[in-house]
Structure 1
């Protein structure tokens, strides 16, 4: 059942996010389970899969989480009071300039709604929409080269708020999903930082928390634990021998993707990724 949107934009990702799945949804479509009651997404990011499913199922009961507390605050504020976020974001739109960007980047103080608007503003104006923190947890991406960025989109943010109505949001580790998803009525989608396919693509942390080889193994163990209970589990990752071996025995599907973030433009282009399902 499609989400009714009278005078409202359809809900979709409102943040740019490295590794976002917006362009891959059409390839994922046939792999989503036909039936489930509750959807879980422990690496929320831009939420492309959630927003897609929210248009297909009304209402969509979901548990969305991420270790990034700043990110979860944005979602919580939009769910609870989108008008407050829109108000502060409109101010950023009016004041935007290179000097203003760095002033905002260096100041993380304010109410929860001011902090939410700050993250959206920085995301819309920083280089490549990349979220990156230093060891202190401070956002440190430089200003992007945009002539007229669309910083505030009230219609979209209101539609996001409506889509989040039946959603539980929390900042926590992906491993905690084992305490919530229990059986065949649950569907869990994992979209972790991808395992690097080469020494030059070793970017596995969007926050101060790295996601290394050991974490990939921990994630596989969580995947196995959930699958053993009958939970429907789907996971995306890079197409490389390490990941294929980790999930040997499960259904491994190949999808085609675009590499859009690379300092060398010549190295951007088509690559393959894997989509792994327990069902």
Structure 2
């Protein structure tokens, strides 16, 4: 897949995996729903491939959803705002902390874009009362305004006029989905998140999540779930129960940069679970994969 626009730096984004994930998704569905949209990487990639024409982008992190909505619907406004904030910083790192304090008071999404572009590793962190508390990356100033504008305009071209934006609890979203929807579910990564973790605005309970998946199965909704994973011999999180009758695919992400620095040859693998309805309805897509991909299927 050609390079896609990506204005928001966000640790945990599926941007680099989007092309691989899309290989397993159906292309005969009216609407793509992302209950845990994050940066909406899958929606952006799916629109670029003309797979879907309607997108429901949801995330409990309301400032993030409002930022995405601005990027899609008012690209010039958010690009101008980012440019103004970016040039204000000059070489003064205190500027970042001032913007962060203002964001925590106002939840202004235009301030959030600057913080995400400038913070360490694009990694969101929240304190115990839900305030953004990640530090600035002192080695760089964040995405150059010209590049940011180009990325914002690119996302807007792909998604404008095609999206519903909400910041609901994921269970409320799943309760509203229809049979002609496809649901891509990418909850907070199990390996680092329980019910509350500094890396995420909010966590989820494993048992609640399993019940929600059971209900989707009962309604015969087509969906895929990115959930657990591993790096080398280290496993992150529990697998989803076999009683859900999901097909598990292991996708190689690549060598771990952290492991490489330590002189280890560890490959990171993420799991993608396909719903029974999806496999039954789109089995021809699975059968068309290469032997290498089929060998990665876990039944």
Give the TM bin, normalised by the shorter chain: 0.7 to 0.9
Structure 1 residues not aligned, in runs of 5+: 3-8
Q: Which residue of 1 aligns with 2:249?
A: 253
Q: Which residue of 2 aligns with 1:168?
A: 164
Q: Which residue of 1 aligns with 2:232?
A: none
Q: Which residue of 1 aligns with 2:181?
A: 186
Q: TM-score, normalised by structure 1?
A: 0.83
Q: Does 1:100 align with 2:82?
A: no
Q: Does 1:82 align with 2:75?
A: yes
Q: Structure 2 vs 1, CA of residues 268 and 80 (structure 1 numbering), >3 Å: closer, same or farther?
A: farther
Q: Deviations over 1:89-123 (max 9, x none)?
A: 111121223111111111127888xx222111011
Give the conservation status (yes or no) of the 8 Å contact 1:132–1:141.
Answer: yes
Q: TM-score, normalised by structure 2?
A: 0.77
Question: How far apart, CA to CA, are the structure 1 residues paired with 2:243 and 2:144?
Answer: 40
Structure 2 residues not aligned, in runs of 5+: 230-234, 279-299
SS at match of 2:238: helix
Q: Which residue of 2 aligns with 1:159?
A: 154
Q: Structure 2 vs 1, CA of residues 98 and 261 (structure 1 numbering), >3 Å: closer, same or farther?
A: farther
SS at match of 1:108: helix
Deviates more, 1:120-129 or 1:53-62: 53-62
Q: Structure 2 vs 1, CA of residues 107 and 148 (structure 1 numbering), >3 Å: closer, same or farther?
A: closer
Query: Residues 1-80 of structure 1 correspond to what in structure 2 (within 5 A)?
Result: 12-57=5-50, 60-80=53-73
Give the conservation status (yes or no) of the 8 Å contact 1:258–1:268.
Answer: no
Q: Which runs of 4+ in 1 moved over 4 A?
A: 109-112, 201-204, 258-265
Q: Which residue of 1 aligns with 2:213?
A: 223
RMSD between superposed Cα atoms in Å: 2.9
Q: Which residue of 1 aligns with 2:203?
A: 210
Question: How far apart, CA to CA, are the structure 1 residues paired with 2:210 and 2:257?
Answer: 26
Q: Does 1:272 align with 2:269?
A: yes
Deviates more, 1:246-255 or 1:186-195: 246-255
Deviates more, 1:185-194 or 1:95-104: 95-104
Question: How far apart, CA to CA, are the structure 2 residues paired with 1:111 and 1:84?
Answer: 18
